[in-house]
Amino acid sequence: MEKLNLVSAVNLALREEMERDSSVVVMGEDVGKDGGVFRATEGLLEKFGEKRVIDTPLSETAIIGTAIGMAAYGLVPVVEIQFLGFIYSAMEQIISHAARLRTRTRGRYHCPMVIRTPYGGGIHAPEHHSESMEACFVHIPGIKVVVPSTPSDARNLLKAAIRDPDPVLFLEPARIYRAVREEIREENLSLFEARVARSGKDVTLISWGAMIHVTLKAAEALSREGVEAEVIDLRVLYPMDIDRVIRSVEKTGRAVVVHEAPLTGGLGGEIAALIQEKALLYLEAPVKRVAGFNTPIPLPKLEMTYLPGPDSVIEAVKEVLSF
Amino acid sequence: MPKKAAGQFSIEYIQVLDENGTADFSLYGKVTDKEVRYMYERMVLARTFDEKALNLQRQGRLGTYASIRGQEATQIGAGLALQASDWWFPAFRDVGISLMRGLPLKTLFLYWSGDERGNAVPLQQNDFPIAIPVGTHIPHAVGAAWAARIKGDPVAVLVTFGDGATSKGDFHEAVNIAGVFSLPVVFLCQNNQWAISVPRSRQTRSPTIAQKAIAYGISGIQVDGNDIFGVYGTVKEALDRARNGGGATLIEAVTYRMSDHTTADDASRYRDADEVKAWEKKDPLLRVKKYMEKNSLWSASYEEEIIASSRKKIAETVKEYEETPPPDPLEIFRNVFEKQTPDLLEQEKKFLEKQGEK
């Protein structure tokens, strides 16, 4: 198989699922003729026609709102929101309807919808294009939140998301859309299992999305200093495979969570709470969080000031090691 | 250069049955005597349900309830126009249509008593549960219509909402998409003049709500919402057009909320009693009764009979509702996802352990 980058792997998954199941439709702004602003849906219109690959009006609320109706009717809409920062007008549709349709109808209806959206900073994009608000969605009961960090995971997790009978937010780290190419490992993944991106015995680093690559860089540097970090790529933020994290922490006794989202109210707090609830007596040091500042993500000229880099991770690891 | 007209538009108003009970059937054809009796009996049943619900709430036997009093013609007329295979997306003041769709009345009482099983629409009904956040269900209706179009199913979709909903973005985005893709959906706005305490004049400066259709390139029409013949004909025509590939329609049914917003509201705080009195003369039931009297379809004994049978039916339903066992608390953990997530399983387990300790 040819080597693919993350965005091509997304395209591959869409293609494969549309071939497998004629009820899968792709919809969003610029997903048809243009093939998506990042080219994630390139070639789909030509292959599957305009009934199944739909260029919609510029209308986020109605894109997600109509997808809910489609899903209830029996289709599997895969919606693209062009950037996570543009999803906010549709939050009511996501929270009040998509996420609770199964609950409120006692299973009479459900919402097998996937919302794909690029997210995160580091791509020198204009204002409102670099948001990392995953914690807002993890907080919503009734929706799953997935973040791949490798091309293989992007392909395999998107396929699993499309096959999942409940709504899934599929966050695509735009910063690493084209960062790595690899031969796609075909795996049937559950929307749950975390991945050990690097094994180590001294400290557990927990991250997801583009920050996995920052974290791995830090781990390599630490290794040169004799510190072996275990890096866990959560891949699925809800439901979270916390047991995998706990097993690692029981081994290392130390944990650092790395995310680019703002610190306060971020998932780092949730993960730290779970670790202390489940593994307090294994801990040699308090769990540390490396995160963005509690500021809106700055425009490109200052975004690297905001985004955690390997140095911040190394510093945090040294703190937990010397506690 | 002189200005030229870029377009000229008008909105038609439909009334088949006037306040005096005189009907002009030239537009949609005659409603048969049998149909008239059926319509009247359903309206009486809806009003009886409504009155019973208000009473139960006052007695503490039901939660907050949104009365449909005054809107029976629009709701029974629209419900009658729907085919069983069509889909319907309700707002929260729609008991009349629910009744026409065959939703068990017990389900309605359950919902208004705060029991989520009241949202479990039976499988044979292609209807969504009530939408509380105003106007947010309108995109769902458009999505269902879109899916029907994609699958090639000959169904139409009806979505009902009030005048307040037309101020929301969801309404505009949804109607716009229905226009762009020429989707088989009928938007039925029950303009009952009030959104809690805010009058229709505070929702829009447009002289009609129907004219909003023009901006989105779909059919728009205004109908006397207290005229069941007119509503039935107008909605049926729009649904037929939708099923036959003629695209979407926005219907504004001009009616009146004769009751408070809900049982938690007191409309006398913001609404003039004279206004309510004026609308009482336009009562949708009274109008049909006058028509029936003129056409020898009505008698005092007939009226007594249908009121008695409606009351009996509702009383049986109330009994059934009040005898329903309480919901299983475990249902809250078991309907979030098809397969319970590990955290939900853990929460359920802990909940059960606590229950065991009691």
Q: What's the CATH code of the domain at A201?
A: 3.40.50.920
CB A298 within 8 A of CB A132: no
The domain boundary residue, chosen from A183, A210, A242: A183
Compare CB distances from A102 to B140, B170, B335 and report the shortest one's residue: B335
Instruction: Answer yes or no: do A88 and A205 share one domain.
Output: no
Give chain A positions within 8 Å (CB) of B140.
Answer: 65-66, 68-69, 72, 97
Cis peptide before A239 (omega within 30 of 0): yes
Contact A284, A323 (CB under 8 A): yes
- Which residues of B fall within a CB distance of 8 Å from A64? 139
CB contact under 8 A, A239 and B147: no
With residue A291 as reference, give the H or E element that holds it.
Answer: strand A288-292
Distances (CA, A) of B191 to B70, B93, B226, B284: 11, 12, 11, 14
What is the structure's pLDDT at A54? 98
pLDDT for res A2: 82
Q: Does one domain contain both A29 and A74?
A: yes
A159 and A269 fall within a common domain: no
Q: Which residues, 6+ apart, have CB-to-CB distance to A178 below 8 Å?
A: A5, A6, A7
Query: Do A130 and A201 sit in the same domain of this protein?
Result: no
Residue A189 lies in a domain: no
> Token digits for B230?
């007119």
Considering A127, A157, A183, which residue would you say is the last residue of a domain? A183
Q: Decide if B116 and A106 are in contact by the 8 Å CB cutoff.
A: yes
The reply to whether A135 and A204 lie within a common domain is no
Residue at which a domain ends, from A155, A183, A211: A183
* H helices present in B189-259, as ranges: 212-215, 228-243
Whether residue A129 lies in the annotated active site: yes
Which CATH number goes with the domain that contains A99?
3.40.50.970
How far does Cα A199 stand from its chain's mean position? Answer: 22
Could you tell me the two tokens for B21?
């009970």
3-state secondary structure of B68: coil
Q: Which residue of A has its CA nearest to B333?
A: A103
* Distance (Å, whole) CA A44 – CA B282: 56
CA distance A175 to chain B (A): 30
HSE on the CB side for B54, CA within 13 Å? 16
**A203 shares a domain with A175:** no
Please check whether residues A205 and A278 belong to one and the same domain: yes
The answer to whether residue A190 sits within a structural domain is no
Please indicate, yes or no, whether residues A32 and A128 belong to a single structural domain of this protein: yes
Give the chain A residue whose CA is nearest to the CA of B122: A108
pLDDT at B358: 74
Query: Is residue A212 a part of any domain in this protein?
Result: yes
Beta strands in A129-241 (DSSP E): 144-146, 168-173, 182-183, 195-198, 203-207, 229-233, 236-238
Average pLDDT, 10 consecutive residues per value, chain A (323 residues): 93 98 98 97 98 98 98 98 97 98 95 98 94 97 98 98 98 97 96 98 98 98 98 98 98 98 98 98 98 97 97 98 97
* A49 contacts chain B (CB < 8 A): no
Q: Which residues of B are catalytic?
A: 257, 261, 270
pLDDT of residue B356: 86
Shortest Cα distance, chain B CAs vs residue A66, angstroms: 4
**Between A70, A104, A142, which is nearest B119 by CB?**
A104
- If asked whether residues A200 and A124 sit together in one domain, one would say no
Per-residue model confidence (pLDDT) at position B166: 98
Residues A109 and A248 in one domain: no
Considering only CB atoms, A106 lies closest to which of B117, B169, B170, namely B117
* Yes or no, beta carbons of B140 and A75 under 8 Å apart: no
Q: In this complex, do A65 and B150 lie within 8 Å of one another by their Cβ atoms?
A: no
Residues A138 and A271 in one domain: no
- Judged by CB atoms closer than 8 Å, whether chains meet at A68 and B140 is answered as yes
The residue ranges of chain B whose pLDDT is under 50 are none
Residues A150 and A268 in one domain: no
CATH 3.40.50.970 applies to domain B12-327: yes
Cβ–Cβ < 8 Å for B200, B163: yes
Query: Chain A closest CA to B204's CA: distance in Å?
Result: 21
Domain range for A170 is 3-183
Integer Cα distance of A121 and A173 in angstroms: 8
| Total count of domains within chain A | 2
Which ipTM value was assigned to this complex?
Answer: 0.96
Name the minimum distance, in Å, from the CA of A113 to any CA of chain B.
Answer: 12
Neighbours of B154 (CB within 10 A): 13
Instruction: Give the residue range(s) of CATH 3.40.50.970 domains in chain B.
Output: 12-327
